[in-house]
Chain A
Amino acid sequence: MTAEHLPILQVAVPLALAPVCLLIGNRHLVWLLATAGGLFTFVCAAFLMVSVFNQGPLTYYLGGWEAPWGIALAIDLLSAFILLLVGLVATLTLIWGKASIENEIPGEQLSLFYCMFMLAVTGALGIVATGDAFNVFVFLEISSLSSYAMIAMGRDRRALTSSFQYLVMGTIGATFILIAIGLLYMMTGTLNMADLAARLPAVRETTTVLAAFAFLTVGVSLKIALLPLHQWLPNAYTYAPSVVSAFLSATSTKVSLYLLIRFFYTVFGADFVFRDHGLQYILMPLSLIAIFAASGIAIFQKDIKRMLAYSSIAQIGYMTLGIALVSQSGLAATIITMFNHGLIKGALFLAIGGIFLRTGTSQLAKLGGIGRTMPWTMGAVVIGGCGLIGVPLTAGFVAKWYLIVAALEGAAWVVASAIVLTSLLTVVYVWRTVEILYFKTPGDSVRDIDEVPMSMLIPTWLMVAMVIWLGIDTTLTVGLAEQAAAMLFDVTP
């Protein structure tokens, strides 16, 4: 009975929990409630995944109003996969986060913080689950507004300015998406994505649809932080509270990228985007520049969180590169990278958050030799770093392997060698970090600290274990990603 309502429940429950969090003053209870909410979305996503895998895509009509009049939620393999990532990361970061949140957020703001966190989860899940273009905008703004508020809660005062910068750029991006939706509605008279896809071919050559396509691509790219629209990302990730950096880096850009894939393949159709308008000729160089430039900049960062933020921009470049290859295997590689990178970056930010809890800093210079006092946390950093490089037996290797294979299939030798070359840049910045953290003589701030508590180590290592597991057993990620990519190419008219 309730099983058929899972698509809406997993969005509605965190939404309902958000105001409840506000009413609870007790810091333990409110954490428990939020974590239960996160766990619930994860369980829902797992059930949805099984159901979509066995019975094909689901469509759920809100209130029983059939599309195109009512709002439909549409869940296929790709969305179920991303829902699973968001649910998983939300649960693990919340379990991990109790000590870290209480350390970084003033006591009287705790309820507010958990409320915002629940709203961010709601927004991310909603964007992925919905099959209605205007609904996308609403959920996007729910997740963005709560992210701005959470970033501003960072301890450093620069958190405020970075949040403001993100707010301005994010709002411009979201408004661009709104313009695109308005123009599409003008031409087709519908907001339902499946309906849009059916009606667009008749008007595909009009300037209005082209303008909508342009606005949408730029708006979503702002949210993805595709170079050159990435300026908000490094500051936002660096100064946000640790738990927020971990959650956002693992989910928010992936969710926006999902939106891009959804609009490109389901709504506009790959033929329109790539064959008629050649978007890959813009996307490909931008992705390559993003990979090279951001990896290069990451090498010179003095703050670990900022270094990881630039590394995220580079990884986003890998993901858009897969799309720009315009092939089924390229798209599959993108989907694999989205999931695997979410886990790797999540694990790394959790580990760095643990270091921040104990030392109060993420400046590399002050953390020399910390590998001796916090061996378990540092072990997670090393394995996560290996994942970023793409060392075999980690999830990062699988992602890069499929990307290179996809590039070679398309006879894009330059691209394939660029991927290998940039992995070397990654080696440089990961090795530099490991060298400082392990081999320098510990300073005063580092010598007398303890390892983080078990409640933080276990979620971190669960993520690390998954990074290793997905690097050895690829049936889950690769199998699902290939099927999802095949389905997306099938629906193309």
Chain B
Amino acid sequence: MNWLIHYNYWIVIVLMMIGLYLVIARANLVRKVIGLNIFQTSVFILFISIGASRGASAPILAEGIQSYANPLPHVLILTAIVVGVATTALALALIVRIHEEYGSIDDSSIHDQDDEP
């Protein structure tokens, strides 16, 4: 059962593939955005899990503690989460505008409307 030791990576890979699949396979734009979110979240988990180390404590200086978890990846991911939120907000705003103009948020129906001039 050696491959289970790094189970965090398996979780990341599975989430990543689910996210990418949603982005590619779904015609509904909101679902695409959800897929994008799952995809990004998998990367956040990847970053956060590499900061951990077995038996380590939170990075707060205290007596009697020998090893600390690495806080830097968490800080980086705070930034990346903010970026992710901004991206989602922008994407949803675009979808609202697309719905106003086309009356649909389905990829294929939008394409059909633009083909007839």
Q: Say if the beta carbon of A482 comes within 8 Å of chain B.
A: no
Closest 7 CB pairs of A and B: A157-B101, A141-B83, A164-B94, A160-B98, A186-B50, A182-B47, A160-B97
Q: What CA separation (Å) do A141 and B110 show in the bound complex?
A: 27
Q: Say if the beta carbon of A168 comes within 8 Å of chain B.
A: yes
Min CB–CB distance A337 → chain B (angstroms): 31
Nearest A residue to B113 via CB reads: A157
Query: What are the residues of chain B within 8 A of A175 when measuring CB–CB?
Result: 39-40, 43
Q: A175-B40, A179-B46, A182-B46 are in contact. Are A152 and B83 (CB under 8 A)?
A: no
Query: What are the residues of chain A within 8 A of B95 when measuring CB–CB?
Result: 164
Q: A179-B43, A182-B46 are in contact. Are A164 and B29 (CB under 8 A)?
A: yes
Q: A171-B36, A171-B40 are in contact. Are A152 and B102 (CB under 8 A)?
A: no
Q: Say if the beta carbon of B66 comes within 8 Å of chain A.
A: no
Q: Say if the beta carbon of B90 comes within 8 Å of chain A.
A: yes
Query: What are the residues of chain B within 8 A of A382 when measuring CB–CB?
Result: none
Q: Mark B80-98, 1 if CB is under 8 A from A, else 0.
A: 1001001100110011011
Min CB–CB distance A65 → chain B (angstroms): 14
Q: Say if the beta carbon of A24 comes within 8 Å of chain B.
A: no
Query: What are the residues of chain B within 8 A of A158 when measuring CB–CB?
Result: 114
Query: What are the residues of chain A within 8 A of B101 when measuring CB–CB?
Result: 157, 160
Structural contact, B97 and A152, CB atoms closer than 8 A: yes
5 A-B pairs in the complex with CB atoms less than 8 angstroms apart:
A148-B94, A164-B29, A167-B90, A171-B87, A186-B50
Query: What are the residues of chain B within 8 A of A138 when measuring CB–CB?
Result: 79, 83
**Interface residues on chain A, number (Cβ under 8 Å):** 24
Q: What CA separation (Å) do A164 and B29 show in the bound complex?
A: 9
Q: Mark B6-23, 1 if CB is under 8 A from A, else 0.
A: 000000000000001001
Min CB–CB distance A462 → chain B (angstroms): 34
Query: What are the residues of chain B within 8 A of A141 when measuring CB–CB?
Result: 83, 86-87
Residues facing A in B16-59 (CB within 8 A) are 20, 23, 29, 32, 36, 39-40, 43, 46-47, 50
Q: Mark A172-206, 1 if CB is under 8 A from B, else 0.
A: 10010011001001100000000000000000000
Structural contact, A172 and B39, CB atoms closer than 8 A: yes
Structural contact, B80 and A137, CB atoms closer than 8 A: yes
Q: What CA separation (Å) do A152 and B39 show in the bound complex?
A: 24
Min CB–CB distance B47 → chain A (angstroms): 5
Query: What are the residues of chain B within 8 A of A172 when measuring CB–CB?
Result: 20, 23, 36, 39
Structural contact, A148 and B90, CB atoms closer than 8 A: yes
Min CB–CB distance A360 → chain B (angstroms): 16
Q: What CA separation (Å) do A175 and B23 show in the bound complex?
A: 13
Query: What are the residues of chain A within 8 A of B50 when measuring CB–CB?
Result: 182, 185-186
Q: What CA separation (Å) do A138 and B75 show in the bound complex?
A: 13
Query: What are the residues of chain B within 8 A of A148 when measuring CB–CB?
Result: 90, 94
Nearest B residue to A181 via CB reads: B76
Min CB–CB distance A193 → chain B (angstroms): 15
Q: What CA separation (Å) do A138 and B76 show in the bound complex?
A: 10
Query: What are the residues of chain B within 8 A of A182 when measuring CB–CB?
Result: 43, 46-47, 50, 73
Further 18 A-B residue pairs, CB within 8 A, beyond A145-B90, A152-B97, A175-B39:
A134-B79, A137-B80, A138-B79, A141-B83, A145-B83, A148-B94, A160-B101, A161-B110, A161-B114, A163-B94, A164-B98, A168-B23, A168-B91, A171-B87, A172-B20, A172-B39, A175-B40, A179-B46
